[in-house]
Amino acid sequence: MNMKLKTMLLGLSVMTALSAFAQKPVYLDTGKPIEERVKDALNRMTLEEKVKMIHAQSKFSSAGVPRLGIPEVWATDGPHGIRPEVLWDEWDQAGWTNDSCIAYPALTCLSATWNPEMSHLYGKSIGEEARYRKKDILLGPGVNIYRTPLNGRNFEYMGEDPYLSATMVVPYIKGVQENGVAACVKHYALNNQEFNRHTTNVQLSDRALYEIYLPAFKAAVQEGGTWSIMGSYNLYQGQHACHNKRLLKDILRDEWGFDGVVVSDWGGVHNTEQAIRNGMDLEFGSWTNGLSAGTRNAYDNYYLAFPYLKLIKEGKVGTKELDEKVINILRLIFRTSMDPYKPFGSLGSPEHGQAGRKIAEEGIVLLQNKNNVLPVDLNKTKKIAVIGENAIKMMTVGGGSSSLKVKYEISPLDGLKNRVGSQAEVVYARGYVGDPTGEYNGVKTGQDLKDDRSEDELLAEALQVAKDADYVIFFGGLNKSNHQDCEDSDRASLGLPYAQDRVISELAKVNKKLIVVNISGNAVAMPWVNDVPAIVQGWFLGSEAGTALASVLVGDTNPSGKLPFTFPAKLEDVGAHKLGEYPGNKEELAKSKHRGDTINETYHEDIFVGYRWADKEKIKPLFPFGHGLSYTTFVYGKPSADKKTMTADDTISFTVNVKNTGTREGQEVVQLYISDKKSSLPRPVKELKAFQKVRLAPGEEKEVTLTVDKKALSFFDDGKHEWVAEPGKFEAVIGSSSRDIRGIVSFELK
């Protein structure tokens, strides 16, 4: 080759190299489709880098690829506010002074709004807080079905009905993800109790699985487009949910087409090979025992860390699954931290406080209001007696992983005092002592609730304060300590703890204007229900708890929440308890000596969960699903349908006029249940399939139209493994609750 040609070629190759240098690599080119970027990034990664990416490197983070500028993934709890920063490898506080958040109402309250707009507002607001804190995954929302009122974590979920949960979860996810933060819907699946949560093997029919326990997850994936999902602790078909082939591969990926990341619950992975093959993408853990394992970085011992790398290096497994996991994680990174257009977020803003307040006000449920005791008429009030620990106790600390460090929390007592001002005297008495402690993972409420007085002394003081008051408001219920509304333990009974029943009954004797506000995320027994004129379900309401409660109690807000689960009169009225298989097979439980044994638990009640069971057994609940009163009254007209018969590819619309016949503005939730009159398989008496919340001024009347398609008429046929709508007669049952039916329209499916 002559010199000239040589020089030319050299010049050319330098130029190519230079232009390659100047060009952005595909994975960094935001103009390119995400899938191309993912592929490009994957191709540049070494085996070690890939393995590093699929397991934790600290309590809440996993590694990125520093060499390529691909960031770490940071997760946070969830689901009611952004968890304060913990140390790298400890649950204790990192001690930041800029991580206090707004606590939003617990998800039971959100669900009780029956208002998807509230759900979007919730997701958007909490998503903004997560983004501000530079989190990529928000560990929530939770949609495990309320199967028993003893489940310690029901407060983190959306109730007993698959349609309601599915409808409410979707806008939450969208709101979060608009911020470039992935929602992580949990706990997939069948995590319906906390007792033995790591060792319960759930057995149930495919019908119950598909009709009751999966729809909210499916909606989260297909309608909400969630970017991640968290496997649960329990087992199903003898395999832990975090590496369960049926749940993760067959259903989540193959049937639903999920393209996000499957995150393990913390310590939910137990087996490397299953985790490799069965669709676990990202392993997190609760503990890292570096001492006895003798490694420098104990996270290297995770099931998807060195043990996986070793299997690959020994040629025992290939890298196909590894690439699939890394692809899912890269996709999440491009959707979140590497999205250059994501907003900045904000933390603890007044707007967020107001969002929390609005959701709380819409979710509070007026359960009973005899003689219109409520709202409190401040014009005729000199003295209000406030009784009960929950009037003063901070509820944002405790309860497990959802515990928060809040910027502020307004207690029910303070909220009421603020609202009442000088219009009346508000006098407080403790009434009972429940849980005077207030600390979780180093976050302290700072409250000193110690009180050594005896039960009798406390009661005597309460009665003294109550007897000459114009109103008595008792704030009680549960709290966030163990065996209450709290992770990792279940409640011991349906009854109220700390002898509150006695206090309430005695208060009812000395004052006719008694209002009981039950603060809980669960149904409780109310043996005094006939003696107490007004009962309010007050949930755990977060930062603005007291403001929202006061607003409803004095009538600034007209209550419009409806129960997202049944309040049974007694435990035996719940299918899971009546049929005896909670909290697991009795014989196995008796034989099991240590916590490690796997205990089977068969859901004998099958699809008959919540109101489906009460309807079937003709049981009168204490308060039914969908129940909630207002300070105004709504009269329903006669409902009608737009057709008498529908075909399978048709829709059918039902219309009903609703009129506000009272003197103040209010909101009503019009509920549509479908009843299949004849079917080849047993079906619930009726099932919620549509609803709409309408706001009406006094005297105003609106036409409400609810439309359903064949999906709403279908059941899941186990034998055929498909949804089937059988031709025949159906009824659209329209009500103000599942038991307050205002009209029925018959129709036929051809």
Applying CB under 6 A, does 485 fall inside the site for ligand BGC? no
Smallest distance, ligand BGC to C-beta of residue 151, A: 13
Helix (H), strand (E), coil (C) string for 651-694:
EEEEEEEEEECCCCCEEEEEEEEEEECCCCCCCCCCEEEEEEEE
Instruction: For 566-588, give the secondary structure using H, E and C.
Output: CECCCHHHCHHHHCCCCCCCHHH
- Choice from 186, 207, 419, 491 touching ligand BGC (CB under 6 A): 186
Catalytic residue among 265, 485, 490, 676: 265
In the bound state with ligand BGC, the residue whose beta carbon lies nearer, of 155 and 266, is 266
**Cα 231 from Cα 248, distance rounded (Å):** 8
Q: Residue 120 or residue 187: which is nearer to ligand BGC going by CB?
A: 187
Minimal distance, residue 746 CB to ligand BGC, in Å: 44
Q: Is 598 exposed, middle or buried (0-12, 13-18, 19+ CB in 10 A)?
A: middle
What six digits make up the tokens of 562?
């409806």
How far is Cα 728 from Cα 719, in angstroms, rounded to an integer? 20
CA distance 416 to 683: 46
Sorted by sequence, the CB contacts under 8 Å of residue 452 that are 6+ apart come out as none
Smallest separation, CB 489 to ligand BGC (Å): 12
Contacts of 686 (CB under 8 A, 6+ apart): 615, 673, 674, 675, 731, 733, 738
Closer by beta carbon to ligand BGC, 187 or else 578: 187
151 binds ligand BGC (CB under 6 A): no
SS3 338: coil
Q: What 3-state DSSP class applies to 443?
A: strand
Nearest C-alpha neighbor of 385 from the set 425, 442, 347? 425
Q: Which amino acid is at 494?
A: L
In the complex, the smallest distance separating the C-beta of residue 195 from ligand BGC, rounded to whole angstroms, is 14
From the CB of residue 97, how many other CB atoms can be counted at a distance below 10 Å?
5
Give the separation between CA 230 and CA 144, rounded to whole angstroms. Answer: 12
CB of 620 to ligand BGC, least distance (A): 35
Interaction mask 220-259, ligand BGC, x per CB under 6 A: ----------------------------------------
The CB-of-186 to ligand BGC minimum distance in angstroms stands at 5
| Of residues 57 and 401, the one with the C-beta less far from ligand BGC | 401
Residues that contact ligand BGC, how many (by CB under 6 A)? 7
Position 265 contacts ligand BGC (CB under 6 A): yes
Q: Which of residues 325-364 bind ligand BGC (CB under 6 A)?
A: none
Closest to ligand BGC by CB, 77 vs 544, is 77
Cα-based angle 6, 11, 13 (whole degrees, multiple of 5): 95
> Binding mask 81-120 vs ligand BGC (x if CB under 6 A, - otherwise)?
----------------------------------------
| Residue 77 within binding range of ligand BGC, rule CB under 6 A | yes
Question: Would you count residue 266 as binding ligand BGC (CB under 6 A)?
Answer: yes
CB 312 within 8 A of CB 273: no
* Shortest Å, Cβ 303 to ligand BGC: 17
From 234, 337, 401, 557, residue interacting with ligand BGC (rule: CB under 6 A): 401
Quick one: 231 or 564, whose CB is closer to ligand BGC?
231
Q: Does 393 bind ligand BGC (CB under 6 A)?
A: no
CB of 491 to ligand BGC, least distance (A): 17
Nearer to ligand BGC, 78 or 431 (CB): 78
Distance CA 187, CA 124 (A): 21
Question: Quick one: which of 107, 109, 139, 384 contacts ligand BGC (CB under 6 A)?
Answer: 139
265 assigned to active site: yes
3-state secondary structure 8-65: HHHHHHHHHHHHHHHCCCHHHCCCCCHHHHHHHHHHHCCHHHHHHHCEECCCCEECCE
Cα angle, residue 206 at apex, residues 203 and 208 outer, rounded to 5°: 80
Q: Select 188 or 603, whichever has its Cβ closest to ligand BGC.
A: 188
Q: Is 78 in the site for ligand BGC (CB under 6 A)?
A: yes
The site for ligand BGC (CB under 6 A) is made up of 77-78, 139, 186, 265-266, 401
Residues annotated as catalytic (active site), given as ranges:
265
